[in-house]
Chain A
Amino acid sequence: MKFLTTNFVKCAVKGCQSSTESFPLKYSDCQLVQEEQEYNPEFLVHMLERLDWNAVIQVARDLGNDSLPPTKPDSLDPIMEEDQAVLKDLHTLLVETQIVEGRMTCNNCQHVYHIKNSIPNFLLPPHLC
């Protein structure tokens, strides 16, 4: 599971749909791996538009990274040198950081999901379906 993907997923339980607490999930006991990926600035620019930056900060903090800027870097231009540095950092964080194992907990209903072999599992037990 890419760090990026944590920004797209919330609790799957129907009762949590409207709760603001169900996103982002709380990440704990995570095992991270840096997986080298080719740098694709256009991809990051497209993705930035779709990111909930507060959630990025929150999940990064869960994973022990407190160094993110408080506001979303915007109108980045892959041609500008200073923007390059920001994009490369984002690439390292969003694309290359893989969560191989870990727990994702819903802050609303406290249900626990697991990440196993890099794939997050959102299947629900019968009483939550």
Chain B
Amino acid sequence: MKNYLIYFAQSYPNFRRPELESLANLNNFSFDLSHHDESKPFIVVQLENDDQAKKIMDRSILSRGIYELWGQGSNYDELHANIKATSQDKFEVYKKSSFKFDFIGYKGSKSREERVEIIQNFKYLAFEGGVRLKNPDEVFTVLEEYSVSGMEKATTPRNIWFGRQVQLSSRTENVLDKYDLRRRKYIGTTSFDAELSLVTCNIGQVGPGKVCYDPFTGTGSFLVASANFGALPIGSDIDVRMLRGKGKNCNIQANFKQYGTSTQFLDVLTMDFTNNAFRKDFVIDSIVCDPPYGVREGLKVCGAKHPEKAEGRENIVIEGEKAHLRRDFIQPKKPYELSDLLDDLLFFAGERLPIGGRLAFWMPTANDDFQVNLIPQHEQLELLYNLEQEFNKWSRRLLVYVKRDETYKGKTTNGLKSQNIANFRDRYFNGFNDQSK
């Protein structure tokens, strides 16, 4: 095992560990992140080799990069002593490689002159390959962590690491810029932001050549995010208007074209998730979605709101054709409870996912009445993660489940239903006051 340093972005720190664990698991290995401190952007971990480091980093959204650790210290003297004591054997390996030095400072930085001086002090590495600023064989990086108290600018770092850059993350390669909603051709009010949709796909383990299904597609935010990681996305939505878009250059297909992933895109279908048309043996490897919990769109499924009034309508005939079989027939919709929909979603996932396949979806909760037992459970699915993104009076949670084999005996529960939690939408629009409970 070797030591590697991971440098995280300061973004959704509680999602970091699940993301990297999921990416490792996707590549059939695991490593220890239990000592991760969410307040710090640096962590030293142990991995077998560079290959493992590359595999967890190249898709990562919440990390910036990973470095083979050559030494660390709380000041430069300690750092150099540590490098000389622990990494002598590595000097030889990179002796002939061209290289450059890079600096990363957290909450502080060094001036150009100071950097030159620091680099001079690394002379003992005795590299002979020569400095090359463009495309060097290796990048050696000095990472500094400063601590700032009050308004004063910190001048001396508290911790310093030195390492060989192994892999920068897709975040560092500007994937967030690429998927930024402001530049996406087709978006709508329910489009999901680029960063968290990509993170969701990582934790949901969408992968190359695997079918990824979003049953509440909307404008296709999760579909394009999954395609970014090589998945083959297919989507459905009860609202055809969203799927259709606004013309040739402003629809879901246009987004795939924009991102260069058209060849992976399967299709979108108008479908009521609760009356699903996918054949049972069509293999869906992962399900990633943001169910319509009704803040922007009231939750609806097919059916008559007043069944007694609708009775007998199936016999209406227009121009010699049953009305409900005509091309222009509009299927009526009725309101539906979120708790029922989540039940349906878990049941579907339990039935359709292969063993080890993941279901990842977002669920809204009011902060004043949240209890862990509100999270729905299904006997064939193990809840891996419950990750909270907190807003003022409510949160949304990314819930991630994995399908287990028959030896796994979970319990099917639905806390929302059994505790009769009022419609989230009503509570949202009543400002989460007590009366609305």
Contacts and interface: CB of A to CB of B under 8 A. Distances in A.
Contacts of A127: 310, 313-314, 324
Interface in A77-95: none
Given A9-B277, A117-B244, A122 B282 contact: no
A76 to B, nearest CB: 14
Given A121-B270, A125-B313, 17 more contacts: A8-B278, A9-B278, A12-B275, A12-B276, A17-B280, A40-B263, A43-B209, A117-B244, A119-B243, A119-B244, A119-B269, A122-B236, A122-B269, A123-B272, A123-B302, A124-B272, A126-B307
Contacts of B325: 111-112
Contact of B302 (A11, A23, A129): A129
Nearest to B305: A126
B271 A23 contact: no
Contacts of B266: 2, 4-5
Contacts of B283: 50
B340 to A, nearest CB: 13
Contacts of B281: 52
B282 A123 contact: no
Contact of A9 (B238, B240, B279): B279
Interface in A1-56: 1-2, 4-5, 7-14, 17, 23, 37-40, 42-43, 46-47, 50, 52
B279 A23 contact: yes
Interface of B: 209, 211, 232, 234, 236, 238, 240, 243-244, 262-264, 266-272, 275-283, 301-304, 307, 310, 313-314, 324-325, 327, 329, 331-332
A12 B271 CA distance: 9
Contacts of A111: 325
Given A5-B269, A8-B278, A126 B263 contact: no
Contacts of A126: 302-304, 307, 310, 313-314, 331-332
Contacts of B267: 1-2, 4-5
A1 B118 CA distance: 61
B297 to A, nearest CB: 16
A21 to B, nearest CB: 12
B263 A119 contact: no
A128 B232 CA distance: 31
Contacts of B302: 123-126, 129
B279 A8 contact: yes
Nearest to B264: A43
Nearest to A5: B267
Contacts of A12: 271-272, 275-277
A116 interface: yes
16 contacts: A10-B278, A12-B272, A23-B279, A38-B263, A43-B263, A52-B281, A111-B325, A121-B270, A122-B275, A125-B302, A125-B332, A126-B304, A126-B310, A127-B313, A129-B272, A129-B302
Nearest to A114: B327
A63 B275 CA distance: 26
Nearest to A47: B232
Interface residues of A, number: 40
Nearest to A41: B263
A11 B272 CA distance: 12
Nearest to A1: B267
Contacts of A116: 240, 327
Contacts of B277: 9-12, 122
A40 B227 CA distance: 14
B243 A123 contact: no
B244 A125 contact: no
B414 to A, nearest CB: 21
Contacts of B307: 126
Contact of A121 (B240, B278, B280, B304): B240
B197 to A, nearest CB: 22
A17 B171 CA distance: 44
Given A42-B209, A125-B324, A126-B310, A37 B263 contact: yes
A100 to B, nearest CB: 13
Nearest to A35: B253
Contact of A123 (B238, B279, B280): B238
Contacts of A7: 282
Contacts of B313: 125-127
A52 B280 CA distance: 12
Nearest to A110: B325
A37 B262 CA distance: 8
Interface in A52-83: 52
Contacts of B232: 43, 46-47
Contacts of A125: 302, 313-314, 324, 329, 331-332
A8 B282 contact: yes
B314 A123 contact: no
B268 A119 contact: yes
Given A9-B277, A43-B232, A122 B270 contact: yes
